[in-house]
Structure 1
Amino acid sequence: MSIYVGNLSYSVQADDLTNVFAEYGTVKRVHLPTDRETGRPKGFGFVEMSTDAEEDAAIEALDGAEWMGRDLKVNKAKPREDNRKASAGGGWGGNSRQRRY
């Protein structure tokens, strides 16, 4: 499992996030997604820690905390949905060729 970290400053680097979360345990991995076209950060990231207890401690301490001028949103990351299923046409807006009223 991993931790979702939202509302990050666009200047945040992986080392910055590692240093903050290291106060609560061992950081195994940090991922900061970037826009495919521009290469700019998206303003959120994911942190993996060694144990669930470490993740829980980090979430408890950092959710809502002010860091680099922003209030962080920190919680358990939700599993990524398979984009192929999401675009299969069912539900609202699933099919771009569908007529909209």
Structure 2
Amino acid sequence: MSIYVGNLSYEVTEEDLSSVFAEYGSVKRIHMPTDRETGRFRGFAFVELVEEANETAAIEDLDGAEWMGRDLKVNKARPRENRSSGGGNRRDSFSRRY
């Protein structure tokens, strides 16, 4: 399982998150997505702990908690949706006959 952590301060670091979640057990992985164009942190992260039971406790304790001036949104991460590549109307791109 992975934990979604939203509404994070843009100044938060991986070390900051690791220290908060280490209170609930060993941190397995932290992923902090960045904007493709600017490279800036997007304000949310995904955290995985070694023990799933510890993840549940972290979600219960931290959801809605204030941290670094923000009210955190913490819940079980949902699987990423499949998104088609490219843009525009696919029908126009492939329906032309030459």
What's the TM-score, normalizing by structure 2?
Answer: 0.86
Paired residue type of 2:73: K
Q: Deviations over 1:61-92 (max 9, x none)?
A: 100000000000000000001112xx7xxxxx
How many residues end up aligned between the 2 structures? Answer: 90
Report the equivalent of 1:44. 44
CA distance in 1, matches of 2:36, 2:18: 23
TM-score w.r.t. the length of structure 1 is 0.83
List 4+ stretches of structure 1 deviating above 2 A.
95-98
Map of 2:17 onto structure 1? 17
Counterpart residue identity of residue 39, structure 1: G
Question: 5 Å matches for 1:20-39?
Answer: 20-39=20-39
Percent of aligned pairs with the same residue?
Answer: 70
RMSD: 1.7
| Pair member with larger Rg | 2
